Structure formats: C-alpha cells, structure tokens
Amino acid sequence: MINLQDIRDTARDMLAKGEVRTVIGYRRGTRGMLAEPAFITDPAQADDLVWNPTCFHNLSLYLVEDRKFLAHLRQNPGAPIGIVAKGCDARSIVVLMQEHYFKREDVYIIGVSCEGTGVVDERKLAPHLNGFQASDAVFDGDDFVFTTAQGEKRLPAREVMADRCLECRIPFPKEHNLVFGEDKTGRQLAEPFAALKRFEAQEGGDRWNFWSHHFDRCIRCFACRSVCPMCYCDECVVDSITFPVTSETSAEEKANRIRWIERSATRSENITYLMTRAMHLAGRCTDCGECERACPVNVPIRLLNNKMEREAREKFGFEPGASIGGPSLVASFLDNDPGDFIR
Amino acid sequence: MSEQQDYEPRIVAFLCKWCSSAGSDLAGVSRIQYPANATPITVPCTGAISPMYILSAFNKGADGVLVSGCHIGDCHYIEGNFLARRKMQLIMELIEFIGVEPNRFRMSWVSAAEGAKFATVITDFVNDLKPLGPQDKLKRAEQA
Amino acid sequence: MEKILEKKRIDDWIKALSDWEVHAPALQDGIWTYQPVSGAIRLDHPNTNQSPKGFAFPQREIFFSFEQIKGEPPKLKQVLPKTPQHAVFGVRPCDGRGVPRMDKVFNDHVEDPYYNARRKNVAYVGLACNKPPSPNCFCLSVGGSPVSTDGLDVQLTDMGDRYFVKAITEAGKALMKAADGMFSDPSAAEQKQLKQVHAEAVAHPQRKVNDPDGAPAKLKANFNSPLWEEMARACIGCGICTFLCPTCHCFDINDEVQNKAPLKGQRVRTWDNCQFPDFTMHSSGHNPRENTGARLRQRVNHKFQYFHENFGMHQCTGCGRCITGCPVGIDIVTVVNKVTEHAG
C-alpha cells in the first residue's frame, strides 16, 4: 500500500531543497473523482498531490513539453524535473532517454507501483454506478472504493480496471530514483495481449469490416497523438506546415508537393494516419494506453499498437523501454531476424 | 475474356539503386519478357524506405507494392537491408492485421546479376495480384 | 401548436415522416451519436458524444472541383450541397441554442451558401432535459435552460408515458402535420403537468459559471494574466474540445489534388481547431499564439468575450462536452471562474 503522505513529503522536501525545479504529479481535478496533471513548484502546494485509481495520465509527455519549451527559450534545464511515474510511464521515460531526448540526470523519477491493481476504466465503471457520478476514488488492496451520492461503492479492481492494466506484466517502475509501493512484477491479472487475442478470435476472417468501420469513425482530433509521449516529432506527417500556400503559389506547384495525408477525415486518410502512427510507435510504445483512453469516439487504437508490440516481441525478442542503453527496434537488427517472407 | 483477366494491376516497385534497379536493367537488356505493370522508383537503399512510402503508395492507388534490394550480406551500405527486413516485416504484418490482402505487399532480394529473377518476381506478383482485383481499401476515394 | 403524443407512437410518427431523412441518437461503439433511424428509437440518451452541428456544417465538404489541361485555363465547377430534408430527433436544448449561434457566424456580413444550403433542410426536434444529462451541464449559467426552445423546430418534453410536443417554427409544424392524426390536444391537466416538469427541470442543480455577465469585461481585463499559462499547463493541444463543441466553427480550406496530369481535384473545407499549434502558424515560422496558454485563452475568450462583443450573447451554450471529453481535465467552468474571480 502506498502512503500518499510519503509522496507529498518527498515532493515538498525536494522542492524546498531545490533538488528539483518542478514536481509533475497528479492532483484532484474539478470534474468529479478525476485526477488531473499537476505541476508543483511551490513546496507549500505539495499537499495537492494525490494518488488514486484515476491517475491515468502518462506524465512523461510533459517532460517532452518541458524539453521543447527549454529549447525554445534556449535555456539549460538546471535542476532536474521530478515526475511521478507508474510502471508504463517509467518505461516511456526510458524510451525517451534511449532516444536521447533528455539525460538521466535531467529527471528525477518518483516511482509509484501499481501493485495489484492499476487505473480505472471509466467506460467499464459507468454501469456499476447506476447513473451516479463518483466524487472520489481510492485504492484499497485489490479493490477500488468509489464515493457517490448513494454512498460508498466497493468494487474488485479487476472488474473495472483498464485493459492495459489487466494485461500489464510489469506494474512497477524499474527505472526510478525513489519508489513507493511493492514490486509485483509477474502478477498476471489477464494474459498478455488478452484484448488483442480476443479481437483476433472474434473477428476471424473479416478484419476489414471491423477496421473500416472504425477508420470511418475517426474524427482526426489527434488526441491520440497529442496525449502520447512518443509522438514528439516537431512536425507530424499530417501537418502541412512546411509548405506555405501564398497567393503566388500556382496550382501546379501545389499539385507537385508531397502531401502524405490530406486534412479531410475520410477513411483513406484516417487509415494512413493511424497506420503511420502505429508504425512510428513500434518498439517505442510502452502500452500506457492513453491514446485509447483519450479517444473521444472509442477507436480501438490500442489494438494496433499491441499488434506491433507483439510482433516485435515474438519475431525480434524486443521489449520496449527495457533499458536506457538498449537498442531501438527499427534502428537495430539481428543477423537471424526472420526473412522467410522475402522472395 | 472476362473482366477479371482484363484487369492489369498497378505495382509500385521500390528498387534499391545498387542491386534490384540494376537487376531490372539487366532484365531489360537481356530482353526477358515480363509484364509491364510495375512502376519502378529507385531508392538509394531499401533501408531508406520509410513504411510511409508503402502506405502512401496504397493511398494513391497502387494495387501492389514491391520492395526489392540486395541480398543479405551484399548491401552497399553494409546493413541497410537488415534494417529494411525488420521494418518491412512490421508493415506487412500491420497491413494484414487490418484486413488488407497480404499478397498486395511483397519483398524480394534481387542482385544486379539476377535479371531473370527480377522478371520472375514481377511475373509472380502480377499473377498473384490479378485475382485480388483493384485495391480500393486504402485508396483515396475519387470524388465528383 | 401544442399537442400530446403517446410515447409508444413516436416510431409511428417517424415512419410518417417519409419526406424527411430522420436521424436520432443511438448508442454505438460505446458512444451516443446521431444515426439514421431504422426501426425503433429511444430518446433516453444523456447527450450525444458530438453535437449535431455536422448536419449543417459537416467536418468535410467540397466547395468546387477543378480541372486543368496544361496550357489551357482551369475549369471550375461549384459543388453546392444537395441534401435531402433532415429531421434530427433528440436534440438537447444546449445544442439547439448552438444553431442560431452558427447561423449568425455563417450569415454575418457574408452569407455562406454551403452552410445555408444544408441548414435550410434541417429541422431540429428537441428534447427538454428533465434532469441534467451530464454532470458537467451548465446551460443555466450561460443564459440557456434545460427547457429552452431556442434554435429548435419542435420541442418534446418527456411526461412519463407521453410527450408534450410543441411546434416552434413552421418547419416544426410541417413535421407534426405529416402525422396529424397521431397527436391529441393537451388537457388542462397536461398543460399543468408540463409547467411542473419544466419547473423541476430548471430547479435541478448544475455546475455554475459564477459571473457570466461580468465575464466579457473581466476576460478582457485579464488578457495578459499569467493565469492562462498556468491553467493551460496540462493542455496537450488536441482537438477534442472544439470538435465536440456545438458552436466551434473554425475551418480550414485545402486543395486536394487527385491527379496531376491532367490536373484534377477539389477545394475542400474541413473543421479546424484553435488548439492545434499550427492553427495560427505563419509561413515565416512565427506563431502569434505560440503556447497553450494563448490558445486556451483564445478558445475561452471567443466563447465568453469576443462572441459576446460581436453578437451580444455568450457563444458557449453550456453542454459540458469539452469538460467531459478533455483527456487532461481542463474545465471551462473552472477556467472562467478563476479568471473572473481574479479580476474581482
């Protein structure tokens, strides 16, 4: 069991001593039970920090933002930035360091173990609350306890947990400066890639029906890209900001420009976007599942990422975010990589 | 002839400059007969092919995409084709995963000396593509 | 025109609307969306995931197509939408209030033929909210009401086993006339019940913008406040808030080229979003709204200040979608309250 006060005390001490310049963590939001990202710079605010089953966000995203901001200001980081990280979040931080986005000493990882549980999936929770809104959520052993206008509701965590957490193999931030909670690596609440396997068993031969339906539904709000710490490209293939259009730009010139993906949220363009994203995340995605949670129209994006993760694991023995010095998936190879498909 | 047999698939072929592109030249100068369905795009190395190229080719209406380079061990840049092997495996799996016929993507190793092999690769690819008909799953829809 | 319709007859009414393409909220893939009606409908939805603004202002529409053979002048062909008559059922009052706001935007100074061609063929059949359908509702704070008829053509009120059906516009009357025999006249008791249901609806507690009337001036005064950056610190710059909003109307225009020789393609309009970093990006690389704080300020000020200055009303209709949908907890009610309190 994690004692929240320990996290707060750590943050307060470190800020007071100037060991970190900010602590990125979670605080209580203004929408019912939901936590939101918090950026604590004043030691007096350390008591705002919370740790509960609604701490979904992969905060390593904000390390990327911070880095971009410093680069923009042409400033050196100075003191490291403190960050509260779950197992998957810490693996994302490792991938970012593998890619030399920042150095190990630039970040102070305050690890939190998810122990026997994980974060809640609001979509799974809703039917349990009889239409009531939860105003609070807390961990209690292997249960989650929610507070609603009807009183307390205790639910076994695995009934309302996000799929990504059920399938998680390493619910512990291996890379950390400090860690709270027990290491329960090896726990298995669901078999790895359970959702993917369920999908493969269900859809049988008619994958295209399933995917074309979902590709049609994407509204291209880019929440999946924006919420992803790995989607840090300064310029995404879908943004056409390299090529300005002026009154002098001729039709022919426009026609000859490379436009990988049109702005229109039509099926073909959505496919190209989502598939490109899946490819770019191969070997980098640590399955924090934020893209699928953020999606306002429930496109099952995680399946694409899981598929890539499983291929990398089975075909190349690759585990994303395993170690800072480790290779990256598509910039490395083994002599005996499978090649039977090549003629 | 039925409509199916009339249909001529369009192949976008990404050929490495050092081997497969030279191999296709050899097929030409050796006067080997093979179907004219492939539009070759020469790239410096298969390792330089972004999966984006493949998706984009399908997006713009290719019925099939071929990636061809030097045999393992023969890469001009030592390891480019090793990198390509991984990337292409992943994109192939992904395309199949969403329900696109796996036969629409193909990869081959064709050296500069293998003009005959190049002709075979193209012939086989065309024969495999014909029964699939036009690719309209990933293709940008035509509008009025 | 005020009538009573037995609940079980609503499907018959829809069947009688053979001249209209009828859409109603349906639960699909875990979200409520407007779907073409086939078979029975259920009007027990919370609020739809996306607002119904797409009926008049779709996410993508073609303006004109172009063709050019090299050396010849280009040929342009305007593509005006030819949509059938739509009847959209189950529109919540906040979304109804979005309609006149969109009408203003697309008809102020310049009349938008594309918007208007679609808009004239859409009739909105509203459903009063007997209780707030979302925990983030705040229509009462922005001049609306759970029983508002603004922007609607017909208003339905759920009264147990009956609907109280009220035609607001001529288009609404036409919808009711198409099934004349199904309706009965409301009794005095039913009139009284309606008043009571509406009074209860308005009395339900909602989230609250504390000083909506003072907001325009206070937002203006706080334009340079450091609060913006602080509040937008978590913003990830996605398009959820604007794409789900019933009144966000910004768009982008692009030429989509299909064929290079001969040149062939279309000019299309697609939704755009002020929260994307490239929304205000200049070709020089300079970006006047270069951080999330400036972009959040734009969105909030547009809703509560600029629109108010232009049209004398808040653009926000209090549906709460942007609050519910935000992946990182940015809450427009909290934002407006913080800024207005800061000035006060």
Mean pLDDT over each residue of chain A, to the nearest integer: 92
Write out pLDDT tens, residues C268-285.
Answer: 999 999 999 889 987 777
Nearest to A329 by CA among A317, A340, A342: A317
Chain B neighbors of C79, CB-CB under 8 A: 144
Nearest to A343 by CA among B93, B102, B89, B117: B117
Query: Which chain A residue lies closest to C135 (C-alpha atoms)?
Result: A133
Query: Which chain C residue lies closest to A228 (C-alpha atoms)?
Result: C236
Report d(CA C306, CA C313) in Å as an integer. Answer: 10
Report d(CA A16, CA A265) in Å as an integer. Answer: 49
Per-residue model confidence (pLDDT) at position A245:
64
- E strand or H helix at A108, and its extent? strand A107-112
* DSSP conformation class of C67: E
**Ranges in chain B, pLDDT < 70:** 1-5, 143-144
* Angle, helices A267-281/A301-316, rounded to nearest 10 degrees: 40
Chain A neighbors of B15, CB-CB under 8 A: none
Place of tokens 């602080």: C230
Banded pLDDT at C176 (limits 50, 70, 90): very high
Answer for the pair A130, A170: CB distance below 8 angstroms, yes or no: no
Closest CB from A32, A239, A254 relative to C135 = A32
A265 interfacial to chain C (CB closer than 8 Å): yes
Which residues 240-259 of A are in CB contact (within 8 Å) with C? 240-241, 244-246, 251-252, 254-256, 259
Question: Please, what is the Cα angle at C16 between C10 and C22, to 5 degrees?
Answer: 75
Instruction: Indicate if the pLDDT at residue A229 is higher than 90.
Output: yes
Place of tokens 């497969």: B20
Answer for the pair C322, C240: CB distance below 8 angstroms, yes or no: yes
Report d(CA C138, CA C323) in Å as an integer. Answer: 11
- Sheet architecture: strand order including C31-36: C2-6, C162-167, C154-159, C122-127, C86-91, C21-28, C31-36
Closest CB from C60, C238, C252 relative to A266 = C60
Q: Which of A222, A254, A260, A292 to mutate to test the interface with C (most CBs of C within 10 A)?
A: A222
β-strands C162-167, C2-6: how paired? antiparallel
Report d(CA C84, CA C103) in Å as an integer. Answer: 19
Per-residue model confidence (pLDDT) at position B1:
43
Write out pLDDT tens, residues C12-32.
Answer: 999 999 999 999 999 999 999
Report d(CA C243, CA C55) in Å as an integer. Answer: 14
Write out pLDDT tens, residues A174-192.
Answer: 999 999 999 999 888 999 9
Closest CB from A211, A237, A329 relative to B52 = A237
Q: Read off the tokens for A54.
A: 């609604």
A&C contacts, CB < 8 Å = 120
Instruction: Indicate if the pLDDT at residue C205 is higher than 90.
Output: yes
Domain boundaries, chain C: 2-343
Please answer yes or no on whether A61 and C236 come within 8 Å at the CB atom.
Answer: yes
Mean pLDDT over each residue of chain C, to the nearest integer: 94
Per-residue model confidence (pLDDT) at position A244:
62
Domains and CATH numbers, chain B: 2-130 (3.40.50)
Write the CB contacts of C288 (distance below 8 Å, at least 6 apart in sequence). C280, C282, C294
Please answer yes or no on whether C62 and B140 come within 8 Å at the CB atom.
Answer: no
Answer for the pair C217, C211: CB distance below 8 angstroms, yes or no: no
Please answer yes or no on whether A333 and B52 come within 8 Å at the CB atom.
Answer: no
Mean pLDDT is lowest, of A101-110, A232-241, C298-307, for A232-241
Beta-bridged to residue C154, according to DSSP, are: C125, C167
Write out pLDDT tens, residues A50-74.
Answer: 999 999 999 999 999 999 888 888 8
Nearest to A86 by CA among A14, A161, A191: A161
**Cα distances (angstroms) measured from residue C113 to each of C63, C97, C117, C268, C342:** 10, 21, 6, 14, 43
B142 interfacial to chain C (CB closer than 8 Å): yes
Which residues 30-89 of C are in CB contact (within 8 Å) with A? 30-31, 33, 49-50, 59-60, 66, 68, 74
Per-residue model confidence (pLDDT) at position C164:
97
Report d(CA B46, CA B42) in Å as an integer. Answer: 10
Per-residue model confidence (pLDDT) at position A240:
66
Q: Read off the tokens for A337.
A: 């990589």
Beta-bridged to residue A139, according to DSSP, are: A144
Mean pLDDT is lowest, of A204-208, A235-239, C269-273, for A204-208
Answer for the pair C146, C93: CB distance below 8 angstroms, yes or no: yes
